[in-house]
Structure 1
Amino acid sequence: MIYLASETEQNPLLPPLDEIIIGGVAFLIVFFFLGKVLLPKIQKTLADRTDAIEGGLKRAEDAQAEAQAELERYRAQLIDARREAGRLTEDAREQGAAAIAEMRAEGARIKDEIVASGHAQIEDDRKQASSVLRRDVGKLAVDLASRIVGESLEDEARQRRIVDRFLEELEAKAAAQTPEQVR
């Protein structure tokens, strides 16, 4: 303490020389340590981060381009699917129209067959009725003629000739009359 008191008063802005030397040595040690050990690790970490960021950006750009390409491909597929659906719908409509036309034609054919069959059946029934009517009218005519003439007309061949002649005369008279005379 005496030593301190004997010295001249020191400038408060200037530190003592031994502190400057110790501080300088400590600074050089820290500077050397930072320069040789920490600074390469910091630079490596920064370089890794830069690469990661740049790589991430590159990957993001690639992913963006790939997503855009996929979007375009999906849009093209959607357009193709819509075209295909439209084509299938149109095909179904055409097939439906063809089936309807075919069914109508088949129905018309069946109707024509039924009508023709009905006409044939009516014609057969008319012929059968005409035959039965001829036979019955012939029998009645023979019975009536037998009563008028007073003799039996039992001969079958004669009966048929008389009946046929009588019916032919009636048909000829009916054919000779016009539709206006019949009314």
Structure 2
Amino acid sequence: MSALVNMAAEVPENPLVPPIPELVIGLVAFFIVFGFLAKKLLPNINNVLDQRREQIEGGIEKAEALQAEAQQVLEDYRSQLADARHEAARLRQEAQEQGATLIAEMRAEGQRQREEIIAAGHAQIEADRKQAAQSLRQDVGKLATELAGKLVGESLEDHARQSRTIDRFLDELEAKAASDSTKAEAGR
């Protein structure tokens, strides 16, 4: 036996394999530390991980709720925008209709004013024609009286006689002019 112990003592020890008593003590210490960590530290780590997971899940749920709310706000905005566009189109249509009505009214008013101006012009022309005819009648009467007086050799100073002579002369001229215009129209 002593030879075996000597042989065993002579066999060089492997540096990678620890001696058995150290290995046993190391394993016992490892299991004590592992048991302590499993009993005390592992539940705390699991609690922290559970809380973190709940926060993350709560954050996701909150984000989903906010996203749903944002989607609802977006839909409301789009609905309001569509309503505003419809209202703008309606107002634009009303403005166009009012503009067309206003243009028609302005045209009618312009037409009415034009007709009034034309009527006033015709009335003015007629008044001017009558005044010119009256003035012409007086001038022609004076000239005819003077001419007749020179031809007859006596003065036609009597106003009544003068008026009758002038009226008769002018009536004859008007009758002759009317018959000439009737003949001219019949010849066409």
* TM-score, normalising length: structure 2: 0.81
Higher alpha-carbon deviation: 118-127 or 67-76: 67-76
Task: Work out which of the residue numbers 132, 135, 139 in structure 2 matches 1:136.
Answer: 139
* Structure 2 counterpart of 1:16: 20
Percent sequence identity is 58
Q: 1:45-64, aligned counterparts within 5 Å?
A: 45-64=48-67
Question: How many residue pairs end up in the alignment?
Answer: 178
Unpaired runs of 5+ residues, structure 2, are none
Instruction: Deviation per CA, 1:6-27: give whole Å up to 9, x if none.
Output: 7967xx889534641x335423
Matching residue within 159, 170, 173 for 2:173: 170
1:1-183 pair list within 5 angstroms? 16-17=20-21, 19-20=23-24, 22-181=25-184
- Structure 1: give runs of 5+ residues left out of the alignment: none
Task: Tell me, in whole angstroms, the C-alpha distance in 1 between the residues paired with 2:177 and 2:113.
Answer: 36
Which one-letter code corresponds to 1:142 in the other structure? T
The CA deviation at 1:177 is 4.3
How far residue 121 of structure 1 moved from its aligned partner, in angstroms, is 0.7
Deviations 1:131-181 (A, max 9, x none): 100000100111111111110001122211211122123223333445333
RMSD: 2.8
Residues 48-101 of structure 1, C-alpha deviations (whole Å, 9 max, x = no match)? 121022112212221221222122212212211221221122122112211211
Q: How far apart in 2 are the matches of 1:76 and 1:177? A: 84
1:28 shift after superposition: 4.1
